[in-house]
Amino acid sequence: MNKHKAFLFLALIMYFSLYSLFSQPIDMKAVEAEEDFRWGVVAYNNGFYNKAVQSLERSLALKPENPNTLMWLGRSYYMSGLEDAALAEWDKIIFSQKAGASLINLSELVKYRQLLSIKPEYDENWAIHMEIENTFNNFKLFDRPTAAVSSLDGSGAFYVISFASNQVLKYNASGALKSTFDGGIEGYNHPFDIYPLDNGQFLLSEFTANTVSLCDSNGSRIMKIGEKGISPGQLLGPQFLASDGANYFYVTDVGNRKVVKYDLQGNFILEMGHKSAGFNGFSSPSGITILENKLYIADSVRKTIEVFDESGNHLETLVEGQLFHPEGLCTYKGDLLISDMSKVMRYNIAKDQLSIFVDRTGNTQRAMNVDFDENGNLLIADYESNRVTVLTELSSVYGGLFVRINRVNSDMFPKVVVDLSVERRDGYPIVGLERDNFILTENSRPVGDYKLEFSGFKGEDSYITVLVDGSGKMEPFSKSLKESLKSIYSDRDNSTDISLISIGETPYQISSFGDSDNSSAIEEAGAEWSSLWNPDIGIRLAASQMIPGRDRRSVLFITQGEMPEDSFNRYDIIDLAAYYKNNNISFNTVYTREGYKNIELEYLTKATGGQSIYMFQPEGISSLLDDIVSIKSAIYTVSYTSGSNSDFGRAYIPVELEAAYVNKSGRDELGYYPPLE
């Protein structure tokens, strides 16, 4: 007897028992509706959303307007990318005044995001997220902070540089102190700025030591770069740091009034900032940042921003006479942010326009630097007030967090595993949360023994589906396609798995995750072409094979860019974007034709947080692969031991989860059935 029949058999026994007790007729529709509801819940929690929709619709046909069934049907539509259909089901519950607060909030957030995709919200109002004071219980944690900088390790953590006490402190995303580095036996000598590198190491400028130290992730010095002096490559008071993200970094040298460029092996490359034609030289170089291969360097005495190319040629002077005492710089949406005493100024490069971004007059005395953490919060190190202030967009405070339970796995009942995601209301992932950031209840009863089993920002595994345009217009690129596929397979590390799908008239899978024979798959991908092809079916298939999942998942579509007229007749482009977003999958486009971009593919790429590139760009596809495997993840997994009675697998057990992140919170509810016994 299979489980489906077993459930019906048990349900009939239950109803016959009730009948014998109360002598009332059996409601067979209720029995069948309950059975279909159960299989809808089970299908949803296993990622089979189409099957869930079918079962839940059958249940509603037998017992219309059941609020719980409508909620689950809406969730199934939502995860299938059919957001309008989901909202229609939820509105039935809301209008009948039977909806709980979690469902009302979920519906409002989905509507808000739909509106946001049409009309983006530009919130320039910032509120205090938290303030990191320099003392705790009369113990001094840091003294004279010169920098507060994101750790860039995916955890949402940030570093604070304590200039006067010669330390580097690392705080987690919630503002708890996790580590303190002092440089070991030799120690740091008035550290000033820090620049985290991709490999977990960091660069640290040491003002009094007249050097830049390369340190490992534990703060131990690996080597010193530069030495005291006035000759080329020597330093006299190094301060702010910047890197081009490749093999070079720059440091501003206030004593020698210059900027020095080194490679990451410690070799001196060049220096800039001395007097030249059209430029009088620096008076006091301070903050530095890089944007589109240009160096922007503040001069705190001249009160200007000087622009150089990466070869050290002076290009122009900006905002002359408009600043008070500019120091730290960072980039924001293509603009510059400038620390200017109690204010943070924003310079629109395209419009040559300076405006106040944040005014902290009366609260901040001397903002030495400004940076963003990985959750989109603004970090400000206040040297004079001995404080680090973390600001957040005002709308994210009153809007709260978007917490969504994605699935509940009860296969090992009484062990229950809950996969969830935590995002800002605009879809920005929240990283760095720990066990204490979550409150879990089952059937409204607190769960005390839950564990945080998985955090997406710590996960190393990635799954990439490579989707190949199988149209006849790709045939001229056959050889290049094969070379690119070879590069993709060879450049991946051991934690990245790849599958390959070709889109012809009928999209089909060439190789699956875990396949070891890549060479034959590559040859097959570049061998067959069709004049009839269905990109929307292939795009849908590429995502479907990665659901459910909690690791980083991405689709990489290699195409010539020209789509058939009926490309998205079967699956609408907006619904496809929602399908990818709601299942935490990014879509990336690689064009074989330079300068050609398809409007539908660009929408899908942008909406899912992906990138589009030209296949024959100098750096090839490798840079895109690096970005894909390091994309921020909003996924978390919590597990616990259930104390509920399974009733032989007949009991529907609700689960409630709340996530709290400093002054923001969000909540969601879902549920599960234990396995049939």
CATH number of the domain bearing residue 406? 2.60.40.10
Backbone angles phi, psi at 150, to 5 degrees: -60, 140
Report residue 13's pLDDT band, with 50, 70 and 90 as the boundaries.
low
Quote the number of domains for the chain: 4
User: Which CATH number belongs to the domain containing residue 161 in this structure?
Assistant: 2.120.10.30
Mean pLDDT across 366-383: 96
Answer whether residue 488 is part of any domain.
yes
Out of 34-38, 161-165, 177-181, 618-622, which region has the weakest mean confidence (pLDDT)? Answer: 618-622
The yes-or-no verdict on residue 16 having pLDDT over 90 is: no
Does 223 lie in the same domain as 304?
Answer: yes
Could you tell me if residue 620 is inside a domain? Answer: yes
**Sign of the CA dihedral with 355 first, then 359, 365, and 369 last:** negative
Q: Give domain status of residue 159, yes or no.
A: yes
Using alpha carbons, select from 416, 425, 480, 476 the residue that is nearest to residue 451. 416
Q: Is the same domain home to 415 and 380? A: no
- Decide if 172 contacts 435 (C-beta within 8 A): no
- Point out the least confidently predicted range of 22-31, 120-129, 648-657: 22-31
**Residue 359 placed within a domain:** yes
* Structural domain includes residue 677: no
Q: Which of 118, 143, 170 is the last residue of a domain?
A: 118
Domain boundary among 359, 382, 397: 397
- Comparing C-alpha atoms, which of 120, 105, 289 is closest to residue 195? 289
Indicate yes or no: pTM above 0.85. Answer: yes
**CB-CB contact of 178 with 170 (8 Å):** yes
Residue of higher predicted confidence among 497 and 23: 497
Lowest-confidence pick of 251-255, 276-280, 466-470, 542-546: 276-280
What residue numbers bound the domain in which 206 lies? 126-397
565, 622, 553: which is closest to 598 by C-alpha? 565
Q: Is residue 525 domain-resident? A: yes
Q: What is the pLDDT of residue 446?
A: 94
Span 66-112, pLDDT tens digits:
999 999 999 999 999 999 999 999 999 999 999 999 999 999 999 99
82 and 184 share one domain = no
Q: Are residues 491 and 351 in the same domain?
A: no
Same domain, 372 and 474: no
Q: Do residues 287 and 211 share a domain?
A: yes
Q: What is the model's pLDDT at position 629?
A: 87
552 lies in the same domain as 476: yes
Tell me, what's the pLDDT at 410? 97
SS3 626: helix
Runs of H (alpha helix) within 545-586: 573-582
* 134 in the same domain as 113: no
Question: What would the mean pLDDT of 601-621 be, rounded to a whole number?
Answer: 92
269 and 235 share a domain? yes
Domain final residue, candidates 118, 143, 169: 118
> Mean pLDDT throughout 532-559?
94
Contact 428, 654 (CB under 8 A): no
Residue 503 within a domain: yes
- For residue 477, the model assigns a pLDDT of 93
Residues 329 and 424 in one domain: no
Q: Are residues 196 and 259 in the same domain?
A: yes
Does residue 269 share a domain with residue 229? Answer: yes
CATH number of the CATH domain containing 23: 1.25.40.10
